[in-house]
Amino acid sequence: MRGCFPPSFLGSLYVKNSYPAARGCPLCLLARQWQKLEDKADHLNADVARLKEEKKELVARAQQQEKELKKLKKEVAGHEEAIRKAVEKAELDFPNSEGWSVFSEGVLG
């Protein structure tokens, strides 16, 4: 590695035969490990940023779906009211009809 310190400079950190030539000096090994950790940190930071964006999109989609659900609930409530009025009108128009009273009990509960 460029700029590698000679074993004599490292003194007690570098013990002869404890670090084979293929591995290099302890500071070079530490620098390589540090670089690997920085690369992992960069990768994880990119993942965090991506997940935050996905979270924003999901929150926005959930809010939109809540609005649509409220709209549908209002629409259903309007239809339920229309059905009740139709059943009540039918009962008034046909008071002796057994079928309407059974139907209205099922619908109006």
Round to whole Å and give the CA distance between 80 and 4. 82
Q: Residue 5 domain-assigned? A: no
Residue 1 located in a structural domain? no
pLDDT tens per residue across span 14-61:
455 455 555 567 777 888 899 999 999 999 999 999 999 999 999 999
Residue 34 lies in a domain: yes
Range of the domain at 37: 15-108
Residue 3 within any structural domain of the chain: no
Structure pTM? 0.51
Residue 70 in any domain: the answer is: yes
For every residue of 16-41, DSSP letters joined together read TTTS-TTT--HHHHHHHHHHHHHHHH
Give a yes or no: residue 90 inside a domain.
yes
Whether residue 19 lies inside any domain: the answer is: yes
Q: Is residue 85, in this structure, part of any structural domain at all?
A: yes
